[in-house]
Amino acid sequence: MQNAALLPIAPELVLLIGMLGVVTSAVLLGRDRREWGLIAGVALAVAAILAVMQWLLLGGEPGTLHYSARGLSIMRAPMVVMDAYSAFAGVAIFSLGLLGLLAAWDLVETLGDRGAEFVALLLLAVAGLHGMAMSSNLVLLFLSLETASISFYVMAGFTRDRIDADEAALKYFLLGSLASAVFVYGIALSFAAIGSTTIYGAGGIRDFFSNTIVTERGVLLVGIVMIIVGLGFKVSAAPFHQWAPDVYQGAPGGAVGLMAAGVKLAGFIAIGRVLAAGFAAQIDQWASIIAIVAGISVILGTSLAAVQTDVKRLLAYSGVAHAGYILTAVTAGIFGISAMLFYVTTYAAMLLGAFVIAGVVTGPREGPSSFVQWAGLRTRSPELAMAMAVLLLGLGGIPFTAGFVGKIQVFTAAASAGYLWLVVLALVTTVIGLYFYLKVIKVMFIDPVADGVGPIEASTTARTVFAVAVGVTILFGLAPWPLLDIVRDALPL
């Protein structure tokens, strides 16, 4: 294992090289050629294969730490951790990135000679997302978070001819910067209380808690709360969700799927790493905070989604509720990690699929996606309507979909941690949530078509993405055991 010192960061290096290849080829070959799409796709695929190699090389071992101070016999302040958790996250994130590139391709085609920058930013964003999963140090975690976030701020504002895209990008940037500032303040305060920003290794956060009886928690607790607030913003958990509907609605339709799904996926993986692995000893302190945030999220998300008349806003508010469902698993600490991973992976695929269909229905550059545009989708494109119906039922948690299995997993985890009130609350909101998912299905299948709209034809790239998403939804709904076996092993070091 010591010989493979570059392997933990190899996916990032591949993506960086791919990004440079994209920009260089855009300059050398001319910007109207589309070779850089192929380069980006290959880079993402190689990164995914490298993550699979990480998983296979670990072979069930707990994991290894990398990049610490040189020449020290004791591993001090390791920056990067390669464990089953980060390897699984890598496979999920890079696969999602590849799907996101395909989903954004309709948009890239319309961007003209600015498409290369978009693809380059997409690669950098995906590298940042994986960086969040492999960071063993809160400072590196913050850097990765910013790498992903700032790329997405720019991607949200790519269609500058629409004023609401500018608004979405600016709102995302301002609120995201505030959340990042809160996150950094949280890191600083927890550093003040502990004396280290590193999770693993001698003198790290875990080491500190195993050697020290913490008597006065003031600063530490405020630090943990602020870290939760910062990461809660990124995964749009209530009450830190206000940006999500406007950004999802305003950002270009082709880009929003990866923005929404990728940040959720990596954000929850980071939450799992920091709370369940890093601050595991303080679970009595933060589990109740997480439970309260989860409770607020499921109530607010469900009730606000029910009154929406725009599919993207509806998906945004339902995303708040889903953040709540996923957080119910986090209350169980390390025992909820597998459930969380199953839920967030399948949810990310379903969300990306739903957004790519929204992009096809209302246009890859467009933002708002009101119900009027969806009316009678069955007659305009039976294929899109069926795929969207399956994805919505999956998001709603109907049996024989991945969403149902995921919900059982996270609710079981929360119940075993003793948060029965939260499970009951989440079950009730799940049933209420079915209402607005079925409402969209009713609009697609029963409402009459608006005048003057013709049939819709999905491009091959978009079709690939939602076919995969539908496949994930049904396959892991009918036969979840292979993935359940994998996530059971994908625990942080």
Partner 1 sequence: MAEFVVFAVFALAALAGAFVMLVARNPVYSAIGLLTTMFSIAVFYVLLDAHFIAAIQVIIYTGAVMTLFMFVIMMIGVDRDEDTSERLPYQRPIGIILAIGFAGVIVVAGSGAWVTGSASFAVPDLNGTIETIADELFGTWTVPFLGTVFLLTIAAVGTIALARYGPTGPRPVDDGEEPT
List residues binding partner 1 (CB under 8 A): 9, 12, 16, 19, 23, 31, 67-70, 76-77, 79-80, 111-114, 117-118, 120-121, 124, 127-128, 131, 137, 139-140, 143-144, 146-147, 150-151, 153-154, 157-158, 160-161, 189, 192-196, 202-203, 207-208, 211-222
Neighbour-count burial for 401-436, b at 16+ CB within 10 Å, e otherwise: bbbbbbbbbbbbbbbebebeebbebbeebbebbbeb
Contacting residues for 102 by C-beta, under 8 A, at least 6 apart: 41, 461, 462, 464, 465
Name the minimum Å distance from CB 414 to partner 1. 28
Looking at beta carbons only, is 59 or 71 nearer to partner 1? 71
Looking at beta carbons only, is 149 or 401 nearer to partner 1? 149
Distances (CA, A) of 164 to 105, 115, 168, 171: 21, 20, 6, 10
Q: Which helix (H) or strand (E) holds 63?
A: strand 63-66
Q: Is 381 helix (H, G, I), strand (E, B) or coil?
A: coil
Looking at beta carbons only, is 205 or 300 nearer to partner 1? 205
Which tokens in the block code for residue 70? 């040189």
What's the gap between Cα 469 and its chain centre?
Answer: 15
Contact criterion met (CB below 8 Å) for 311 and 440: yes
Tokens 């101070």 appear where? 69
Whole-number Å distance between alpha carbons of 95 and 304 = 31
Looking at beta carbons only, is 178 or 306 nearer to partner 1? 178
Name the minimum Å distance from CB 94 to partner 1. 16
Looking at beta carbons only, is 119 or 491 nearer to partner 1? 119
Name the minimum Å distance from CB 224 to partner 1. 11
Looking at beta carbons only, is 75 or 326 nearer to partner 1? 75
Name the minimum Å distance from CB 196 to partner 1. 7
Q: Is 36 helix (H, G, I), strand (E, B) or coil?
A: helix
Looking at beta carbons only, is 205 or 287 nearer to partner 1? 205
Whole-number Å distance between alpha carbons of 138 and 118 = 28
Contact criterion met (CB below 8 Å) for 149 and 126: no
Name the minimum Å distance from CB 112 to partner 1. 6
Looking at beta carbons only, is 66 or 463 nearer to partner 1? 66
Name the minimum Å distance from CB 165 to partner 1. 11
Whole-number Å distance between alpha carbons of 233 and 492 = 23
Alpha-helical runs (H) found in 275-336:
283-305, 311-330
Closest by CA to 349, choosing from 97, 122, 105, is: 97
Name the minimum Å distance from CB 154 to partner 1. 4
Name the minimum Å distance from CB 12 to partner 1. 8
